Structure 1
Amino acid sequence: MKTLKNTRQMVNKGFLLLMLCFAFLGCKKYFDPPDVFEEQTIVNVKRKKVLLIGLDGITGADLKTIAPPKIQEILTKSKYSYDGWTDMPVSDAGSWKNIMTGVSIGTHGVADSSFDASSTVIGGEHDARAVYPTFIERLQGSGKIRYSAAITTWQKLSQKLFIYSDFPIVVANDALVKDSTLKKIAEPNMDLVIANFNGANKVGLAAGFDANVPEYKNAVLQLDTYIGELLAGIKARPTYAKEDWLVVITSTHGGDGKSFTSGSKRTRNIFTIYHQPNFVGKELPAQPVVDGVTTSSKNVLASLSAANSAAYGLGTTGDFTIQFKVNLKAVPSGSNHATILSKINAAYGNATGWEFMYEASTKYFRVILGSGSSATLKFLVGTQVTDVNKWYSLALRVHTEGGKRYAQLFQDGKAVKEPTDITGFAMGTASDLVIGTIASSLGTCTQNVNQLAIYNTAISPQAIQNFVCQEQIPDTDPYFNNLIGYWPGNDAQGTVLKNYAPNVTGKDLTITATSGTNFAWAPLAAWTCTPGKLYLTHNSDISQQLYYWFGVNIEAKWVTNGKVWLSDFESEFIK
């Protein structure tokens, strides 16, 4: 017992000693650093919202002349253009289809108030089942918007395109469009509001689409007043400080005289304004525009029969010049070269005639001249690597000097190499004149060809240089009367490329498509010698800017025709 007791006493003493050690350590002073209070960064993400205002029948040129006061006020915080475009043939329905789907008329085919696709707009066989959803549907599907509203006086527009909004509203006049739009703007969870005003269009049809017509000018000013009220309505929202509004104001089409269907530039000229409080005001420098048809692979060609195109064969004697603009969209790979423009019976071998080709192995342009034997083919090969989606000017100049005949290739106004002697070379005339890839070509190209000109003389090298920057060949050109074929290729509609050479008839190129293939006219960014970035604004671009604004990725399968450019300025509004 004594031993056990002693053991317990020892344990108790040890425990007390251990507690004293802990107490001693607990009383020891250690360095106590000062308190550090880190400032918490609070990121407030503003909710994205959009007001889209579509004004029927106001040309960009007239809006610039009238300079409505409310619109002028917001330009200091807007990206805008008076030089935008809509498609041919011009219609209210087709223009709204462009805006709502991001697809151009050459794809959707809507050209009248039926909102049905027309086979006269889309060449070849049209698939009537093709569906192009509106940006309302795509934004709803993305989950980026909660509620949307679309207001118009046109019931058919509401039924065909605005119906996909949560609140498609049809009212009797523009004043009620304004009132209904203000009510929807005021609703807390409304993220997308579309307003369509038709008053200027009605006045233009009755009195004339012109800034100098008092009735038309007053109609535009009235719409400007409505726009001012809508902008004030946005700022009056209790949650405005927590929101990020993009206001898009655009016209659907212009007008000329008392019509908007003539196809003139005034009927297609629109304006577009993108307004956001953080934008630095900028009028977008305008990209020149041409209309064009894309000749695709061996499926879409523009051609003139051998019987009607004999004058464009180079034969054995005489001086000629062939020049044109080309923009390659898709090119062959490997060594499968492809024809671009030709009047030749075969792409290779025992060929007779002439052809411009893309040489896949080098990425050079080249011309082949043939007199019936593969052993004597003449190759005029470029030296500059070419890119897709870029315009080039090509020319073949055939001239006689000192009793000899020469051929020389020019690219972008510059002679590629020394002239090639072709004296006595018989190139014939018995082949079709073809834009596109002919059947015997191993490779295929997809391209736009514009401003094709054939002269019965060797124009000067300086004239070839001048052609590089010319929008078109004017009738004041010193060689205009030497034109025996001139196909600008910007007809904008139909199935022919008209020949505008003087004193020439029956020489139009016919556009054809193989079974199951469509072709379509579309406005294209043209060649230019103006430095700096230029913008081609088109009403089919609007949906792309809205997708970008709401943070929705554009999928390739949507086949939209426009492109996002608002991102060029994101440093101004992404803080």
Structure 2
Amino acid sequence: MKREIKSKIGMKMLGVAAFIATILVSSSCNKDFVNKLPDSFKNDTLGVSDGSRRVLYLILDGVKGSVVESLGPKNISLITKRSMYSYDGLADFQRNNLTDAGAWTTMLTGVDYTKHQVQADDFSGFDNQKTPTIFSRLKVEKNNLRTVSFASATGLNNALAKDATEKKDLTNDAAVKDAVISELSTQDPSLLVAQFKGAKEAAGSDYSENNAAYTAAIGKLDDYIGEIMTALQARKTYNGENWLVIIASNKGGGVSGGEPGSNIYDDESRNTFVSFYNPKFTAANYAKPNVEALPYAGVGPRFASNNGSTNGLANLNSNTSIGNFGVSGAYTLMFKIRNDDDGDYYPMFVGKRNPGSTDVGPAGWSFLMGGGEFQVDWTGSPRPGGGINHADGVWHTMGFTIYHSGNSRRLNLFSDGVLRSTSDITNRNADNNFPLRIGTDARFNTNILVKDLVILNTALSDDEMIKYMRKEFGSDNPYFENAIGFWPGNESSGNKMYDHSGKGNHFDFSSTIQFANFMDISPNISPNISQSAFVAVPNNVDIPVMIYNWMNISVPKTWGLMGKFYNPTINLPKD
């Protein structure tokens, strides 16, 4: 019989629910903690030697996790059978520009660029007093330890390994491998760090499995790892020692990028392979969550009317000029809507017109329902249709752009990321003194949620409209400064729907407004991806936290580390 110490996080992400649960239990950044493993835990059960905690840390430049998974190198595959590991690891869960120097600094300090300030190859901006490396902290915390750094990259040792007991700059990966084997065979290291650059150099600009030189270089690194593991296990004192073997990419391949709100997992320069190995660990694969299946979740006002009573309206009484688009100029309007009732024919739900009339009349415009499909009325007929049946309880996106084309002024109508129609509105002035309104009056039956309403003083291109109407608008949108008004509709109480553009034009809710919580998966919306989605897998800032924990060093909050601890599942013989 064996005793198990269960992991704090699951072995595999299995859908949205498992992902959310995992985040709740594994986010232990910047918390004080003690080592979670028994002090007596060694590489075997003979009880010889001192069971001292030791770390072998192999840094592989430019090795993408997705390529490692595809290739399945022999020795790395064997190591994963006794590792916490990920092919979806991230060099950086922020959107910092990635460089080799910056990545190494993150891996050896436990903080990212926002703290260590390193991006340039010369490590300019780095201050070892403000963000000490693991070599420096171990020198203070346990000054009797032998710490070693072997590097094939110029400058790494001089900048980051000043406090190592021994450091060597070597000409190539083979020399680094030989130095590691010699150190393991003849010396007594407690921390041995080795950096390899061969895969990055072989890749050129192609970090894919189709690049034979790149995959061959990864294969060569795998051979080196096999030789190093053989040397480690051949140590005369190995049976009484307690080794954590870390293998991690410094970064993936290609140029880092990604606009705010984008999916970091799509940035291949951040894709890393990482594993934490010990012969007593049970395998745990940390896979990225399916961010495309994350729900659109939140709270917002419900605009409803039924049987002669209105339970929800919002009027922009503070500034009745908003929503007047005149006969010149370019504009964009877009919002998200969930219709929970097919309702009556032709009630408006967003617009600026006489609330006492079904027809828009000579002035005014509105989005209105029409037999399940919606329409837009711009000073009367024609009323172009939105092309979808939106009375289905699913979130949809709607909007229009107004722009000049030659001598004409046009309105393009969009829904769910599709251009549905284009209309000529030249000299059709829809201006009036009625307030911009969300919801309809008591004569109709409606039941809708409206959120993320924004009006811009510029016309997005068709491609931009299709792209941005899916997303949640906010300060990270490149057109945020163009917002005439922005009303997220995140209120859960009160009498105002607040303008987040900074202009201060708030909607007034009717006194009977109600609020609804929702958590829906919609094919029409790409909700903002919480940062928690990107710390669901090991990040390079986590590695120093793992090392300190392994070395029985509690991490105080004052260190300001940005990583978290992954508690392994281990099997021990029954006492």
TM (norm. structure 2) is 0.54
Higher fraction of helix: 1
Secondary structure of 2:337's aligned partner: coil
Contact 1:404 1:421 in 2 (8 A): no
CA distance in 1, matches of 2:479, 2:221: 42
Share of identical aligned residues, percent?
24
Contact 2:115 2:131 in 1 (8 A): no
- 392 and 456 in structure 1: CA distance in 2 versus 1, 3 angstrom threshold: closer
Question: Which residue identity lines up with residue 255 of structure 2 in the other structure?
Answer: F
Question: Which residue identity lines up with residue 180 of structure 2 in the other structure?
Answer: T
Larger Rg belongs to: 1
Secondary structure of 1:164's aligned partner: coil
Alignment of 1:411-430 (within 5 A): 420-422=311-313, 426=317, 428=319
- 571 and 156 in structure 1: CA distance in 2 versus 1, 3 angstrom threshold: same
Secondary structure of 1:539's aligned partner: coil
Deviation by residue 1:171-222 (Cα, 9 ceiling, x = unmatched) = 111110111111112234211100000010011125x100121111101000
Q: Which residue of 2 aligns with 1:248?
A: 246
Aligned-residue offset at 1:392: 8.8
CA distance in 2, matches of 1:490, 1:426: 25
Aligned-residue offset at 1:44: 6.6
- 498 and 404 in structure 1: CA distance in 2 versus 1, 3 angstrom threshold: farther
- 43 and 96 in structure 1: CA distance in 2 versus 1, 3 angstrom threshold: same
Aligned-residue offset at 1:574: 11
Contact 1:79 1:273 in 2 (8 A): yes
Contact 1:80 1:272 in 2 (8 A): yes
Q: Which residue of 1 aligns with 2:130?
A: 131
- 467 and 176 in structure 1: CA distance in 2 versus 1, 3 angstrom threshold: farther
CA distance in 1, matches of 2:155, 2:530: 27
Question: Which residue identity lines up with residue 270 of structure 1 in the other structure?
Answer: T
Aligned-residue offset at 1:117: 3.8
Aligned-residue offset at 1:163: 2.2
Contact 1:499 1:507 in 2 (8 A): no
Contact 1:399 1:405 in 2 (8 A): no
Question: Which residue identity lines up with residue 525 of structure 1 in the other structure?
Answer: S
Q: Which residue of 1 aligns with 2:555?
A: 554
- 195 and 424 in structure 1: CA distance in 2 versus 1, 3 angstrom threshold: closer
Secondary structure of 1:394's aligned partner: strand
Residue 185 of structure 2 is aligned to residue 218 of structure 1? no
Question: Which residue identity lines up with residue 63 of structure 1 in the other structure?
Answer: V
Secondary structure of 2:150's aligned partner: strand
Deviation by residue 1:441-470 (Cα, 9 ceiling, x = unmatched) = xxxxxxxxxxxx9944633359998679xx
Q: Which residue of 2 aligns with 1:153?
A: 152
CA distance in 1, matches of 2:105, 2:139: 18
Which of 104, 107, 116 aligns to 1:99? It is: 107
Contact 2:152 2:169 in 1 (8 A): yes
CA distance in 1, matches of 2:245, 2:183: 15
Alignment of 1:140-539 (within 5 A): 140-143=139-142, 146-205=145-204, 208-255=206-253, 259-263=254-258, 265-287=267-289, 393-397=297-301, 399=303, 401=305, 420-422=311-313, 426=317, 428=319, 455-456=334-335, 458-461=337-340, 478=416, 485=454, 486=468, 497-499=476-478, 524-526=531-533, 535-539=536-540
Q: Which residue of 1 aligns with 2:68?
A: 63
CA distance in 1, matches of 2:475, 2:52: 50
CA distance in 1, matches of 2:161, 2:470: 38
Aligned-residue offset at 1:403: 11
- 111 and 179 in structure 1: CA distance in 2 versus 1, 3 angstrom threshold: same
Deviation by residue 1:81-128 (Cα, 9 ceiling, x = unmatched) = 01111223111011111111111222223222132349xxxxxxxxx8
Question: Which residue identity lines up with residue 542 of structure 1 in the other structure?
Answer: I
Aligned-residue offset at 1:559: 0.6
- 86 and 426 in structure 1: CA distance in 2 versus 1, 3 angstrom threshold: same
Q: Which residue of 1 aligns with 2:543?
A: 542
Question: Gaps (5+ residues) in structure 2?
Answer: 1-45, 259-265, 323-331, 342-389, 397-413, 421-451, 455-467, 487-499, 503-528
- 424 and 218 in structure 1: CA distance in 2 versus 1, 3 angstrom threshold: closer
Q: Which residue of 2 aligns with 1:76?
A: 81
CA distance in 2, matches of 1:497, 1:231: 46
* Structure ranking higher on relative contact order (CA contacts 8 Å, 6+ apart): 2
- 571 and 547 in structure 1: CA distance in 2 versus 1, 3 angstrom threshold: farther
Contact 1:289 1:536 in 2 (8 A): no
Contact 1:147 1:192 in 2 (8 A): yes
Secondary structure of 2:236's aligned partner: coil
CA distance in 2, matches of 1:429, 1:116: 54
Q: Which residue of 2 aligns with 1:338?
A: none
- 539 and 572 in structure 1: CA distance in 2 versus 1, 3 angstrom threshold: farther
Contact 1:288 1:525 in 2 (8 A): no
Residue 507 of structure 2 is aligned to residue 569 of structure 1? no
Q: Which residue of 2 aligns with 1:388?
A: none
Deviation by residue 1:31-77 (Cα, 9 ceiling, x = unmatched) = xxxxxxxxxx9797511111000001011101100111111112211
Alignment of 1:8-27 (within 5 A): none
Question: Gaps (5+ residues) in structure 1?
Answer: 1-40, 119-127, 291-324, 326-390, 407-419, 432-452, 469-475, 513-521, 528-533
CA distance in 2, matches of 1:201, 1:43: 41
Residue 56 of structure 2 is aligned to residue 48 of structure 1? no
Matched positions, count: 361
Question: Which residue identity lines up with residue 497 of structure 1 in the other structure?
Answer: D
CA distance in 2, matches of 1:73, 1:154: 28
Q: Which residue of 2 aligns with 1:311?
A: none
- 396 and 172 in structure 1: CA distance in 2 versus 1, 3 angstrom threshold: same
C-alpha root-mean-square deviation of aligned residues, in Å? 4.4
Deviation by residue 1:239-285 (Cα, 9 ceiling, x = unmatched) = 11111111100001111xxx334555111111111111111122124
CA distance in 1, matches of 2:104, 2:89: 15
